[in-house]
Amino acid sequence: MKIVISIGGSVLISNQDLKKIRSFADTIKKLAKDHTVYVIVGGGWIAREYISTARSLGANEAECDCLGIDITRINTRLLITALGEKAYPLAPTSYQDARKAALSKKIVVMGGLIPGQTTDAVSAVLAEYEGADLLINATSVDGVYTADPGHNKDAKKFTTMTASQLVDIVTKIDISAGSNSPIDLLAAKIIQRCGIRTIVIDGHDPNNIIEAVEGRNNGTLIE
């Protein structure tokens, strides 16, 4: 299978935990033995802290987005380092470059691309562009809920949902730099238009990625 995995910076880089980064790298290398794997890395708390400081200093949202993109690329370098020779050594900065990098048969790892979106959108567009069979979003929540579970105790998790339901839910979430959403609106729209099988899972445990590839996920399946 051709698989695009989006890993939230908040789950990959928790307190620069070396064991965590290595364990993600081991999981990805294991999958890459049988599948073509692309990984998109998010910015996590480091991006949010930089964005918040820049905003307080007077930066507008697009400028904050650019800062967020830079942090996703720094996180990407850490994962490339952990993957060693199995990874393509440079992070592509366009979908065309990602395709070229994939010709190397190595694991392609990249971060953010343009302001006004998050790495969810990058992973959805890349999945469409490369004709992936599966898109996995390993994030800090364990699936898509009817409302933000952090703020609404009555929020219910979807085990399966349609892309149109996903679009309806994320439409209500704001898109300021660093904002929290299980999947951003652009990504949801891309998933809707290309119909790619997508699974949102709790990314804190890298093993959940293997489970999702093998069809045993505890998250939300969008199809």
Distance CA 192, CA 194 (A): 6
Give the residue at shortest CB distance from ligand UTP.
Answer: 68
| Residues in 12-51 that interact with ligand UTP by CB under 6 A | 42-44, 47
DSSP 3-state percent helix, strand, coil across the chain (nearest 5)? 45, 15, 35
| Residues in 71-90 that interact with ligand UTP by CB under 6 A | 72
Q: What are phi and psi of 6, to 5 degrees?
A: -100, 120
User: 139 by DSSP, 3-state: which?
Assistant: strand
Q: For ligand UTP, which is the closer residue by CB, 68 or 143?
A: 68
Site string for ligand UTP, 166-185 (x = CB under 6 A): -----------xx-------
Q: For ligand UTP, which is the closer residue by CB, 57 or 103?
A: 57
Q: Give the count of beta carbons closer than 10 Å to the beta carbon of residue 1.
A: 12
The answer to the question of residue 65 lying near ligand UTP (CB under 6 A) is yes
Contact with ligand UTP (CB under 6 A) among 5, 21, 69, 132:
69
- In this structure, what token pair is assigned to residue 184? 């951003």
Distance CA 168, CA 144 (A): 12
Site residues (CB under 6 A) for ligand UTP? 8-10, 42-44, 47, 64-65, 68-69, 72, 112-120, 122, 139-140, 177-178
